[in-house]
Amino acid sequence: MQSVEKHIEKSIKSKPRGTLVLPSDFLLYGEPKAVQKSLERLEDKKVIVRVAQGIYVRPKISKLIGALTPTAEEVAEAIAKRDRIRTVPTGSYALNALGLSTQVPMNIVLLTDGSPREIKVGKRKIKFKKTTPKNLMAKGKISRLVIQALKEIGNGKVKEDEEKKILELLKKEDVKDLKYDIVLAPVWVQKIMKKALHDGKN
């Protein structure tokens, strides 16, 4: 057990502060039970901080407030990586990610092909909602967010400045991915997204 813990501690300390660590990162060093036990001991020794179930961080240290924990967004990303699931931000989280809203949502809602669940990170919550494969097929990082953001705003409610911003963002998307993703969107969303193909150099 001691050597497993030493190996894991050495590995964690070689990572930059702020790095999220998961038990699955250390399975080379020992059995899952031994790895989990070692992480719990390293948490007691303040080498890492637990931020959610099965997710730890090598914390950044602030002179003023001590250990800094990662954002809920970073934790959501780590969970998707750990569980090898696909996710797509939805609702107000998608609007915020695109810069269409300055309000940071208290609850992050992600559509997923994994198990539905809710995880608490500090005062915020990450909610994984089971969805159909079609909702997760979008390839473009920007276009998949745009589809969800427009659905959140609603048909006929998209303001002129919002549409302008969305089209500017879509012009940065890979054209092949954009064309592929447009087909997956509801018809009214397709009409808006297609404008990015016409006004640009594409």
- Render pLDDT for 65-111 as a digit per residue (tens, 0 to 9): 888 889 899 999 989 988 899 999 999 999 999 999 998 889 999 99
Among 57, 68, 60, 55, smallest CA distance to 119 is for 55
Segment 37-49 mean pLDDT: 96
End of a domain among 133, 160, 178? 133
Radius of gyration of the CA atoms of the chain, in A: 20
State whether 83 and 127 are in the same domain.
yes
End of a domain among 114, 133, 152? 133
User: Percent helix, strand and coil across the chain, each rounded to 5?
Assistant: 50, 20, 35
Per-residue pLDDT tens digits for 113-161: 999 999 998 889 999 999 999 899 999 999 999 999 999 999 999 999 9
pLDDT grade, residue 193 (50/70/90)? Answer: very high
Is pLDDT above 70 for 2? Answer: no
pTM of the shown model: 0.79
Domains: count for the chain: 3
Length of the chain in terms of residues written: 202
Residue 47 CA neighbour count, 13 Å, CB half:
17
State whether 97 and 120 are in the same domain.
yes
pLDDT grade, residue 199 (50/70/90)? Answer: low
State whether 93 and 148 are in the same domain.
no
Q: Angle, to 10 degrees, between the axis of helix 141-153 and the axis of helix 160-170?
A: 170
State whether 60 and 28 are in the same domain.
yes
State whether 26 and 82 are in the same domain.
no
State whether 77 and 59 are in the same domain.
no
End of a domain among 133, 155, 173? 133
State whether 82 and 129 are in the same domain.
yes
What CATH number corresponds to the domain at position 38? 1.10.10.10
| Beta strands per DSSP E along 92-149 | 107-112, 117-121, 124-130
pLDDT grade, residue 62 (50/70/90)? Answer: confident
Residue 144, domain extent: 137-199
